[in-house]
């Protein structure tokens, strides 16, 4: 054997040895810092640690890096109702839809519901998901073409869906979460692709993420899950056929954004940062250079790059100019939309989000209350918590409801009274300017309760109830004031409007700066001086 062949043989032997010892090229087996036991090692208990280290971005979403901002009104309220006092808030990083949900997306939702829940007992479910197309009607306007065609005609496929209540938008988010996670399992081979050829009549057996994680839903496994290439293993080293949330394959749920998240994303103050972070270890300036009125502002004048003059004088949003001008003059239309416009039209803001001003108002998660300076947390402010737990039957087992979702129950005051951080399950009305403080009583969702309170509830002293939800952003039929991210209005959660649509959001887990970035600041470690003194 010559010297060259001997070198090749020794190299191959070393490579094989390194694979046996934990990985190619001598990669060490990952192990616990607290016990020293190996992870993913069947000879050391088989404790599995995910190889997925980062959260992938779900379909349609844009990553929004969180931060601090001044939440609230920036102009005097046109109604003289100063109920949105500016205050300093901090928002966690999160994801939000690049565009508003369009007609074609909502029709996809209806298609799925009509097929999966096609039995007679689900008639209310099918009808309950339909948007209210009658929202286009007006006593003194000819809008019947919009009633008949806007939601169904392909010309309007990518126009924002309207006539959707807060409750319907909320349910759409639940459906979207399950479809995205179901496809993630399909792509990884953990669900048999043939099971999607006919979804008719599945009903309560349809896929639900939480029911799957609790073992209440067991879709047919794909062929690849029993392969040796399957990265998920049982403690004995055999391929695992089901996925846990700890594996990093499933995404958090889609949901409606909170009011603070929506307002922060609309402002997109990242566009004002003179030197935003480009790579790990570098940090931009901690600076907000200008007070911003609209979502597209990137300099003190609120104008885009005008070096060639191409955008000078053009509309950056779909709204009503002056008194009654919704489109402009023939031959020179200003925003080219008499009603709504496609969801990806007009210029995106610095986060790459479209129509955060104008087109349609958007539902957010929050229950509406006139704000004071002390009624929200500094970090991740939100009003609308009514805490829930997964329900168990008398045998201590989780159960599904008729739609295939895990049954939920509201947390009682009895369960909460011993806690330090909250003492009630329903905290929607917590510190909302109640009668003890301001003499104001907000209505409940129960008319009988309002009568017990001396008739001071919804319909007597205020239009605000626990069913009032915040809408943000302004619409095609609003004047510029309502396009500012700081303005806010409300609508009952069971009502729709021709000027209200929505977009979805998702929690961000891991580093607030994004994938591939660290949390906290690392400093070089100094070697300890071990010399004897």
The whole-number pLDDT of residue 229 equals: 83
pLDDT at 16: 46
User: Among 371, 348, 342, 350, which residue's Cα sits nearest to residue 501?
Assistant: 342
| CA angle at 122 for the pair 116 and 126, rounded to the nearest 5° | 75
Which helix (H) or strand (E) segment is 29 a member of?
none
In 3D space, the residue among 256, 171, 177 whose CA is nearest the CA of residue 494 turns out to be 171
Domain ranges of the chain: 385-427
In total, the chain counts a number of residues equal to: 533
pLDDT for 131 equals: 98
Quick one: 487 exposed, middle or buried, by C-beta within 10 A (0-12, 13-18, 19+)? buried
CA distance linking residue 273 with residue 289, whole number of Å: 7
Q: Mind giving me the DSSP string for 77-142?
A: -TTS------EEEEE--EEEESSPPBHHHHHHHHHHHHHHT-SGGGHHHHHHTS--GGGG-BTTB-
Question: Which residue has 């032997």 as its token pair?
Answer: 13
3-state secondary structure of 186: helix
Q: Are 333 and 315 in contact (CB under 8 A)?
A: no
Nearest CA-CA partner of 175 in 209, 221, 215: 209
Tokens coding 265: 């994303």
Distance of CA 407 to the CA centre of its chain: 22
pLDDT digits (tens, 9 = 90+) for 449-506: 544 444 444 444 567 889 999 999 999 999 988 999 999 999 999 999 999 999 999 9
Taking a C-beta distance cutoff of 8 angstroms, is the pair 115, 199 a contact? yes
- State the pLDDT at residue 311: 59
Give CA separation, 475 vs 113, 297, 341, 361, 362, in Å.
29, 18, 10, 5, 9
Nearest-Å Rg of the Cα atoms of the chain is: 27
Distance (Å, whole) CA 186 – CA 190: 6
The rounded distance, in Å, linking the Cα atoms of 461 and 442 is 8
- For residue 391, CA distances in Å to 174, 408, 524 come to 18, 5, 49
User: What is the pLDDT at residue 459?
Assistant: 41
428 closest CA partner among 439, 443, 417: 443
The pLDDT of residue 216 = 93
Cα 370 from Cα 79, distance rounded (Å) = 13
Residue 75 has which token pair? 């102009």
CB 173 within 8 A of CB 255: yes
- Report the pLDDT value the prediction gives residue 198, as an integer from 0 to 100: 80
Nearest to 372 by CA among 435, 280, 308, 438: 438
What does the pLDDT read at residue 532? 59
Which residues in the chain come in under a pLDDT of 50? 7, 10, 14-26, 299-302, 435-440, 445, 450-460
Task: Please state at what angle helix 103-116 crosses helix 166-187, rounded to 10 degrees.
Answer: 80
The two three-digit tokens of residue 180, written as one number: 């995205």
Quick count: other Cβ atoms within 10 Å of Cβ 43? 7
Query: Looking at residue 530, what is its pLDDT?
Result: 64
């Amino acid at each position: 054997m010559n010297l060259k062949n001997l070198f090749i043989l020794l190299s191959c032997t070393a490579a094989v040895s390194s694979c046996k010892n934990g990985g190619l090229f001598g990669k060490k087996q990952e192990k616990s810092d607290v016990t020293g036991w190996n992870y993913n090692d069947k000879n050391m208990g088989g404790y599995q640690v995910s190889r997925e280290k980062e959260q992938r971005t779900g379909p349609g979403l844009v990553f929004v890096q969180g931060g601090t901002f001044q939440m609230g009104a920036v102009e005097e309220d046109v109604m003289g109702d100063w109920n949105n006092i500016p205050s300093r808030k901090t928002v966690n990083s999160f994801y939000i839809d690049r565009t508003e949900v369009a007609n074609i997306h909502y029709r996809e939702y209806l298609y799925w519901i009509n097929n999966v829940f096609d039995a007679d007992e689900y008639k209310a479910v099918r009808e309950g998901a339909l948007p209210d197309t009658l929202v286009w009607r007006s006593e003194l306007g000819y809008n019947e073409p919009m009633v008949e065609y806007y939601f169904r005609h392909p010309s309007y496929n990518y126009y924002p869906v309207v006539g959707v209540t807060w409750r319907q938008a909320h349910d759409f988010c639940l459906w979207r979460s399950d479809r995205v996670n179901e496809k993630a399992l399909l792509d990884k081979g953990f669900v048999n692709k043939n099971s999607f050829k006919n979804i008719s009549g599945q009903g309560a057996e349809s896929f639900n993420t939480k029911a799957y994680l609790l073992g209440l839903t067991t879709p047919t496994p794909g062929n690849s899950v029993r392969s040796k290439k399957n990265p998920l293993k049982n403690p004995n080293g055999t391929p695992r056929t089901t996925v846990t949330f700890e594996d990093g394959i499933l995404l958090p749920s889609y949901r409606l954004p909170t009011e603070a998240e929506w307002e922060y994303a609309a402002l997109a103050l990242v566009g004002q940062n003179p030197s935003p972070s480009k790579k790990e270890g570098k940090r931009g300036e901690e600076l907000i250079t200008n007070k911003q009125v609209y979502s597209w502002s990137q300099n003190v004048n609120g104008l885009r790059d005008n070096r060639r003059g191409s955008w000078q004088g053009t509309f950056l949003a779909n709204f009503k100019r002056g008194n009654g001008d919704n489109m402009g003059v023939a031959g020179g239309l200003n925003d080219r939309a008499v009603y709504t416009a496609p969801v990806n039209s007009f210029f995106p803001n610095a986060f790459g989000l479209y129509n955060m001003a104008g087109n349609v108002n958007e539902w957010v998660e929050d229950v509406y209350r006139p704000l004071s300076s002390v009624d929200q947390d500094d970090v991740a402010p939100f009003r609308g918590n009514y805490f829930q737990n997964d329900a168990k039957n008398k045998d201590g087992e989780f159960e599904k409801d008729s739609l295939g979702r895990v049954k939920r129950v509201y947390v009682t005051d009895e369960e909460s009274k011993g806690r330090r951080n909250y003492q009630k399950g329903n905290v929607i009305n917590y510190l909302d300017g109640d009668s003890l403080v301001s003499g104001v009583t907000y209505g409940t969702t129960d008319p009988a309760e309002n009568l017990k309170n001396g008739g001071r509830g919804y319909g007597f002293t205020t239009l605000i109830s626990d069913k009032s939800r915040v809408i943000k952003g302004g619409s095609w039929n609003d004047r510029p004031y309502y396009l500012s991210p700081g303005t806010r209005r409300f609508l009952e959660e069971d009502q729709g409007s021709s000027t209200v649509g929505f977009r979805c959001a998702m929690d961000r887990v891991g580093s607030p700066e994004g994938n591939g970035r660290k949390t906290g600041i690392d400093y070089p470690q100094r070697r300890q001086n071990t010399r004897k003194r």
